[in-house]
Amino acid sequence: MAIRKLLLLLKPIDPYPFLQSEGVSLVKSPQVLQYLESRCKVHRNAIKFCQEILNKKPVEWKPVSRNDISHPIRDVDMVITVGGDGTLLHASHFIDDSVPVLGVNSDPTQAHEVEELSDQFDASRSTGQLCAATVENFEQVLDDILFGRVVPSKVSRISLKLNSEPLLSHALNDILIAHPCPAAVSRFSFKIKNKDGETRSKTVNCRSSGLRVCAAAGSTAAMRSAGGYVMPMLSRDLQFMVREPISPSSTAAQMHSAFKPDQSMDVNWYSDHGTIYIDGCHVRYNVQLGDTIEISSDAPVLNVFLSHGFTQVRSRY
């Protein structure tokens, strides 16, 4: 399919408005303020650069702030996000499997900056795991796409049913089912079953701070930080981990594992209150005592242009 109509989805040009109060900066450290101002400038310049490149190409494009997107994105051939993984993640909740997306990391982390300032504050910028381009290679990547030299990868997402009713939102990274108060203990059980309904594991009963399930794209995020393993980007498996289980004893080995595309996980919720967090705080649904949640990889894939090498199998350890 020829790509002629694009949507340029932008992280807000001033991502730190909360740092100002009645015109006075709330940041007192000159170095921190200089660092944040630098990030804003780099991001603005990246947006300007991408727009200048697009003006040279035989395409029609429209810029939109990610904060202004509230409906499914239709009638475009491709979405280009300019920001970081958060902007692409935000876009994914408005894109089905018919519209490919290219992420441009507008503000990559600078190793020398992190080393120089590490004793004073965290100077990390954007990670951009899902972003195939930066200002350094944006035109080349765009040309490769426009001339059909590369195709998007089909990245798996997570599908959810609450009490047998499908939820409209699909997770690209992960879901967390937990009590709304992070200090509270949740009670739930889960089991893995085949799509034909045959149970593949015994029911696991849990008292813990929640349950996290990730797709391949999210295995480098919270799951990895919690001790999980990095999955091949094109894997359709879903990895799960019970967070901070109380006295797991004989069920400890069942608290962290994965299940296949032809399987699903059934969760029974036994606490008064709970919340399903989809991709962090992007989307949330409330659950209550007696609710059931079905988790699978049945969601439409997200077609993402990935950087070279991302489709290679990565080590579990």
- Looking at residue 14, its pLDDT comes to 72
pLDDT in tens, 24-62: 566 667 788 788 888 889 999 999 999 999 999 999 999
Q: Are 80 and 99 in contact (CB under 8 A)?
A: no
User: Using CA atoms, how far apart are residues 305 and 136, in angstroms rounded to an integer?
Assistant: 16
- Looking at residue 315, its pLDDT comes to 36
* pLDDT band per the 50, 70, 90 thresholds, residue 72: very high
- Looking at residue 311, its pLDDT comes to 41
Nearest to 291 by CA among 183, 160, 171: 160
Q: Given a cut of 60, is residue 313 above it in pLDDT?
A: no
**240-270 as b/e: b if 16+ CB within 10 A:** bbbbebeebeeeeebbbebbbeebbbbbbbe
pLDDT in tens, 222-233: 999 999 999 999
* pLDDT band per the 50, 70, 90 thresholds, residue 1: low
- Looking at residue 56, its pLDDT comes to 97
The share of the chain scoring above pLDDT 70, in percent, equals 92
* Average pLDDT for 158-187: 96
Dihedral sign for Cα 144, 150, 151, 154, please: negative
Computed over every residue of the chain, the mean pLDDT equals 90
User: Using CA atoms, how far apart are residues 142 and 127, in angstroms rounded to an integer?
Assistant: 20
Structure tokens at 284: 């949330």
User: Using CA atoms, how far apart are residues 26 and 21, in angstroms rounded to an integer?
Assistant: 7
In DSSP terms, 287 is beta-bridged to 274
- Looking at residue 21, its pLDDT comes to 58
